[in-house]
Amino acid sequence: MKPMVMHPWDLCETDAIKLQQQLASKVIKQDQFDNIIHVAGVDVAYSKHSNTLVAAVVVMDACSLQVIETVVAEDIVQFPYIPGLFSFRELPPIVKAFENIKTTPDLVVCDGQGIAHPRRFGLASHLGVLFDIPTIGCGKTKLLGKAEEPGVKRGDCAPLLDNTEMIGNVVRTQDHIKPIYVSIGHRISLLTACEWIVKLAPQYRLPETTRYADQLVRKALATYIKSEESGEWKADY
């Protein structure tokens, strides 16, 4: 896969914010896709011993949740840690990983925010606009907004509000388990996004796409750390 939108990554904070504001206008908040056959999850892990980060993409069958393909890519951190601008740190290796996958996903679930973001352009929206692909933001914690606690049953939701604007839902994926935060990324409605997150989380709090991508980056990062002394890096997953 190749990005449909290209832009530089070595930006100062002010220019990065301006770019977010510009690209946020391209986010589509309605369902705009055909059948969802393959769904992907993405995650990024950071090395505590160097400025290396590792990204993983896992592609699954949307019905059986069987893994179809995985790709790992590593990169060097090039953007500082600034809340609200995480996509500028994490997307470069994610883009590298997407460029190497052979199975094009119909939907991508990101471990992060979509429009539930100060400028309505979190990592999920950024990735969706770059590749013009349906994406969902699915975060373990919220970045901003207020919400009531949803009901205790699987599938129960409560609106996540920034002042009076609805920017996502707090979703209970398992009975009596801590909820997660779901928002539109790109080319999907909030209702459909929440339905997919519940469907992709048949047993655990987090969707299988996120769980598997997290396991993959942790394993790849551990392999990378062990190989640092030898000066060789090879991920084979």
Neighbours of 1 (CB within 10 A): 18
Q: Which fold has domain 28-227?
A: archaeoglobus fulgidus dsm 4304 fold (3.30.2170)
- Cα Rg, the chain, nearest whole Å: 17
What is the Cα 165 distance to its own chain's centre? 22
Binding site feature residues: 43, 111
Tell me what pLDDT residue 57 has. Answer: 97
Distance, in Å, from the CA atom of 221 to the CA atom of 72, rounded to the nearest integer, reads: 10
> Which pLDDT value is given to residue 227?
62
Q: Which residues are annotated as a binding site for Mg(2+)?
A: 43, 111
Summarize pLDDT for 191-230 with one digit per residue, the tens: 999 999 999 999 999 999 999 999 999 998 887 766 655 5
Q: Kindly report, residue by residue over 18-49, the tens digit of the pLDDT.
A: 999 999 999 999 999 999 999 999 999 988 87
Q: Name the DSSP letter for residue 40.
A: E
In the chain, what are the domain boundaries?
A: 28-227
Q: What is the pLDDT of residues 107-161, one digit of tens each?
A: 999 999 999 999 999 999 999 999 999 999 999 999 999 999 999 999 999 999 9
Give the pLDDT mean for 161-167: 96
Distance in angstroms (rounded) separating the CA atoms of residues 87 and 34: 27
pLDDT value for 236: 43
- As a dihedral over the C-alpha atoms of residue 203, residue 205, residue 209, residue 211, rounded to 10 degrees, the angle is -100
